[in-house]
Structure 1
Amino acid sequence: MFTNKPHHLHHSCKDKVQGCDLHEGEWGKVGTIIIWSCVHDGKAKKSKEVIESIDHDKKLITFKVLEGDIMEEYKSFLFTLQVSPKSGGSGSVVHWTMEYEKRHEAIDPPPTLLQLTVDI
């Protein structure tokens, strides 16, 4: 879903993801720029991201944040999402990795952003 149809994500979590718009490129392609509209900490937020890498074999995708509310506190921010089938059963396990560089040491790590990913 995150690779080819991220614009459908709001169907499963409308209270968290309000939209996902194609800004430039094609869905499912490296270099594509997407604008996410989400509710984070009770407020509407936006994030402009580029798909930095896709590995279909590993079911992995990496988004680099270019602009948006999160960049007020961070110099750089990457989201990596990897999906692995559950062993011995149906369904999958999702691993989110966040790599970031804070603008200064007084900025806390993003625990509420981590909770948003869990909720999604």
Structure 2
Amino acid sequence: MKGSKSVFDIAPRTGYWEDGSRWIPQPGRNADIYVLAYHPVDDERADHRDPAQWLFYVIATTALPDQKTVSLGRVVSLAEPRRFDGLAQSVEALRENFRSDAGDNGFAQFSIY
């Protein structure tokens, strides 16, 4: 079976839900970090429930191209693939970059959606 072309939706949004109940109209990309997941196994061994079969790409929003979608090929050029067991560490490392870029107070606005 041939896999389909992998494309990720990175389009800016019209807003976001705060606490799951209040709509905040704020156009743009409302996260500092994107975690894009790709499942490369496309034969009889494929089990989408198994996190060990997935590859994850942790990307700062500022590194994403100004478009609505991004291909897997472009994603691979933006970030190294991470396995599930290294995902939290990769997100935290990028989060720390945001903190160091925030200046003296050590904080930057940080959100994951």
The two structures have a TM-score, normalised by structure 2, of: 0.30
**Of the two, which has the highest radius of gyration?**
2
- Greater strand share, 1 or 2? 1
